[in-house]
Chain A
Amino acid sequence: MTTPLAPVLLDVAGLSVSFATDRGRVTAVDDVSFSVRSGEILAIVGESGSGKTVTLMSILGLNDPRTTFVDGSVTFRGRPILGLPDRDLRRIRGKDIALISQDPMTALTPVHTIGWQIAEQIRAHEAISRAGAARRAVELLAEVGLANPAEAAGRYPHQLSGGMRQRAVIAMALSCNPALLVADEPTTALDVTVQAQVLDLLMKLRKDFGSAIILITHDMGVVAEVADRVNVMYAGRIIERGTTERLFADPWHPYTWGLIASIPPLDGPRPHRLAAIPGMPPTPETMPAGCGFAPRCRFALPRCAARPPVQRAPGRSALCVIGPEDRAPRRAEILGPLGDAA
């Protein structure tokens, strides 16, 4: 879908984020680098607490500056934006980079109508009359597939269903034609059928508006369906990355194996129970010095106590000691043999 020639829209390099807490400074994101090209969908996958949301909030400058320390560089359209004063960031936020929140139940202000909230965003970035902004809001609501957009615009969030609210949130994010949409688990809080509709909508919008999308999720099924490229995050680091196709055909990192094994199969016999990864992700306080996944990894070696080496191939990489020669047999223990694994 994406041509490799599309220009880099957002480039994140060496991003580290840590928080000041009562127990001292804890690192939530550790040396994360990735880039997004125009029009592509990049999925960032990981469990809760893996640092996905923190990464995005840092890009948008939405973390509390009094307790958050951000390091590294973020470049948007060739312009460094990390650490810009809030006044300058506000011009980018909502206009060039728009956020779609996780939970549509709480993402809209309860005391204003949907149309008012969309118009508010348009008017924050464009010189347009109140009535003009209100008309645009109705058009956007129609664009995201609300059946009766004019009526929906006059409704309050609590009067809409979850799926309708998420569409309203998406309409709001689209209101200024952003080059980049940041979707923070946009389907997690929704029913399965509505999830599929919202994903379809995102795909359609990418096609119609040409926006790039960073899709944060913990659902490998969603990733397989919509993403062009995948970053797998664990304990604040990107531990594996690659195109969706290659990553699913030939996953390298044991954590990715676990994630793929936990996708419920669509056909064939239903397993007795879905595979799970034993244990819990480390909290920032209990973060091991070396590989963050080692305590839960059945293939862990003494070497894993040190920072893991980067395994590379063109267009992809993983942070793991397991080299290409040892990969297939170990993976087969978790996933069974994968057809044309390289």
Chain B
Amino acid sequence: MILALAQRLAQMIFVMFGISALVFLIFFATPGADPAARIAGRNAAPETVEAIRKDFGFDRPLPVQYARMMQRLFVTQDLTSFVNRGLKVVPQVISAAPVTLSLVFGAAVLWVVGGIAVGVLAALTRDSFIDKGLMVLALIGVSMPVFWFGEVMNLLSQSRFHDTWLFSWVPGLGYKPLTTDPAGWFKTLVIPWFTLAALYIGIYGRVLRANLVEAYQEDFIRTARAKGLGPARVMFRHALRTSLIPFVTMFGLDFGVLVGGAALLTEVVFGLNGVGRLTYQALLNLDLPMILATVMYASFFVVVANALVDLVYVLLDPRVREE
């Protein structure tokens, strides 16, 4: 067990090393682009460029450049933005991360609970009006672009119906830290959570329903029913347990990617200064250190989420344990 965990950890570190090297090479070693000149900005004096080149080690071989970059990113954490001189990159990411994590965690709870509820209910009432209604709703959830749905929600809750009892509790857009203002944190995030989760409830509900319907064709479901078990027990102990693997796989991928910045549209719509927004701005300005930092942050969560998925596999399915 400990060996397996150590192996897994080594694997994660290796993957992150690979990603960091790749990103570094793409941004700093592309032929024809001189990073020192870019940092110095337009019309910079040649001696300034030369000083920067020395400072960042761009006159040294690539491995040294890489090592120095990683050292400044992870050890001394004093890597500064190319665009906003003097602005340190790592504290930026660290201050943006809680926003994105709050948004995605809350939405994830909603979409896991909602997706399972929709899938189970639809599978139990297969081909009935409830099932068909739920599937249409899920399709609507999947089809609504988050920027549109979010803006509609804002329109309703911030202006049109803000004065009615329904939305009068909704605070203005923006993020309130959990540690200083828990109630405000919750209130500002409820609508973004639902907005982000709508898409995923739709997808997960539909996928789970399909898997459950398939599971109900299996012999072991017939065995379970022939044992005299009630429908709820057959569903939760036999059908759902065996149908959750694709659900968990999707969750690992989606969660990692969202925490890594893919919740950008939701962040923008609701004025949340999260990692997605940070990455987007860095990309607009070609702010290479910032991009490097956010990509490393994103890859960390993708790798961690996938490691957790593997762990959940082992808990869910004994057939995986032997490998």
Contacts and interface: CB of A to CB of B under 8 A. Distances in A.
- The reply to whether chain A is a binding partner of chain B is yes
Contacts of B231: 86
B219 interface: yes
Contacts of A99: 222-223, 226
Interface in B200-232: 218-220, 222-231
B319 A90 contact: no
B318 A158 contact: yes
Nearest to B231: A86
Nearest to B221: A109
A156 B223 contact: no
Contacts of A158: 318-319
Contacts of B53: none
B54 interface: no
Contact of A62 (B225, B233, B237, B242): B225
B127 interface: yes
A110 interface: yes
A93 B228 contact: yes
Interface residues on B, range: 20 to 34
Contact of A124 (B219, B222, B229, B242): B229
Interface string A98-130: 110111001111111000000011001100000
A111 B227 contact: no
A86 B222 CA distance: 14
A60 interface: yes
A287 interface: no
A211 to B, nearest CB: 15
A66 B218 contact: no
Interface string A290-330: 00000000000000000000000000000000000000000
A108 B220 contact: yes
Interface SS of B by simple majority: helix
A95 interface: yes
Nearest to A67: B127
Contacts of A124: 227-230, 233
A107 B317 CA distance: 16
A82 B305 CA distance: 51
A66 B127 CA distance: 9
Contacts of A112: 237-238, 241
B219 A110 contact: no
Interface in B224-261: 224-231, 233, 237-238, 241-242
B316 interface: yes
A90 B127 CA distance: 24
Interface in B271-323: 316-319
25 contacts: A62-B225, A86-B231, A90-B228, A90-B230, A93-B225, A93-B226, A93-B227, A94-B227, A95-B228, A98-B227, A101-B223, A106-B219, A106-B220, A108-B220, A109-B237, A109-B238, A110-B220, A110-B317, A112-B237, A124-B227, A124-B229, A125-B228, A158-B319, A169-B223, A172-B227
Given A101-B223, A121-B227, A124-B233, 17 more contacts: A57-B222, A60-B226, A62-B225, A62-B226, A86-B231, A92-B228, A93-B225, A93-B228, A99-B223, A108-B220, A111-B241, A111-B242, A111-B318, A112-B237, A120-B229, A121-B228, A124-B227
Interface of A: 57, 60, 62, 66, 86, 90-95, 98-99, 101-103, 106-112, 120-121, 124-125, 156, 158, 169, 172
